[in-house]
Structures are given as structure tokens and as C-alpha cells.
Amino acid sequence: MPERLASWKKLSVLTLFAMVLILVSEGINKEILAVLYVIFIAIVIWFFTKEKPLKILGISVNSWAMSILICLWLLKLFPGEVTSRVWISCPPLAAMIAAIPEFMESKNKFKIPAPEVRQKLVILFLSYLVLGCWLNFTFTIQEWLENDPSLMQQDFSKSSFVVKVEWPKWWMEISEWIRHWFSIIKRMA
């Protein structure tokens, strides 16, 4: 049993309970429970990564996990044309999530960070904003190629920006697995 009232273990039990309720409910109740399910998962990930930070190559990916989860939720809420905008907003959103602890004192009081911390936050936000711009550039080029197929016939071998990418087999298998699970979640919601 968890020691504290607000812990990722208790919230994960609530998440499982919400998932079971989604399976047996219908109509508007199912939609409300699906929203609660996503909120519970977000809170579980927040608490879990706060207690046990997730690091890849020594870099914390907690804010990225949360921002990707929020973006997936936004894609579910607003399907269609906003797809590229949601993914473009993922890096700046990750920067904002990473900055939240720097503005919090103990007992949930707000504070103004020290000047050296603010400088790090500005660099973090601007670098993540550049990543968002590169994603925007990628989506723009993809849109150009879809709207004008004759561009595909041109030679881009000397281009510094356009590179033909062929995804490795393992990446395609992972993407198929993700699509499979999204279709299951979509049927549940």
C-alpha cells in the first residue's frame, strides 16, 4: 500500500479502475470516463517521473513524456487538420513542462527563479522552439510534396534541407504496433 495519499501507485489503481469502467459503459459516460482516464494517466506519469526520473543518455525525458501524452490527447480531441500543429507544439510544451518545477516553492507556492535559472530556462525554451520550427519545416516540405508531386521528380541530392529518408524495418514494426494499440484505444473510447 502506498505511504502517501498522492502517489503514482494509488493513481495507477484509479487509472485501471477508469479503464474497466470505460469497457462496461456506453454513450456520454464512456466519453467522460475516457477523458478522466487520460487525465489519470497524465498524473500517474507526472508523479512517477517525479519520484523516479526517466533518463536516456543522462538526459531527463520526463517533460517529453508528458508533452507527447498531451499531444496525443489533443489529437484525439481534435482529429484531422490540426495534426501537424499539435506535433509542432510538442517541443515548446515540453519546455514549459520542464520549467514548472523552477517556478514552484515548497507547499505549492509560486516563486520567481534566480537569474541563472531564468537564463537556463530561456535557453531551454528557445532550443525547444527551434526543434518545433524544424518540425514545422518538415511538415511544410511534406505538404509541398503532396500538393505538387512534380517536385518528387527533381534531384535533391545537393540539398542541405531535403533528404530522402527510408525508415528502418524495426521502426516500421514499432509504428505498426503503435497504430494497433491506438485503434484498440479508439474502439474503447
Set of cell numbers at residue 13:
489503481
pLDDT at 119: 93
- Whether the pLDDT of residue 30 is over 70: the answer is yes
Per-residue pLDDT for 121 more than 80? yes
Q: What residues contact 131, with CB distance under 8 A and at least 6 apart?
A: 91
Residue located via cell numbers 495534426: 83
Closest to 92 measured CA to CA, from 135, 41, 49, 43: 135
Q: Are 42 and 69 in contact (CB under 8 A)?
A: yes
The set of long-range contacts for 170-177, using a CB threshold of 8 Å and a minimum separation of 24, is none
Q: What φ, ψ does residue 71 adopt, rounded to 5°?
A: -65, -40
Largest CA distance in the chain: 63
Average pLDDT (102-130) is 87
Q: Residue 1: is its pLDDT beyond 60?
A: no
Identity at 170, one-letter amino acid code:
W
C-beta of residue 111 within 8 angstroms of C-beta of residue 80:
no
The answer on pLDDT for 62 being more than 80 is: yes
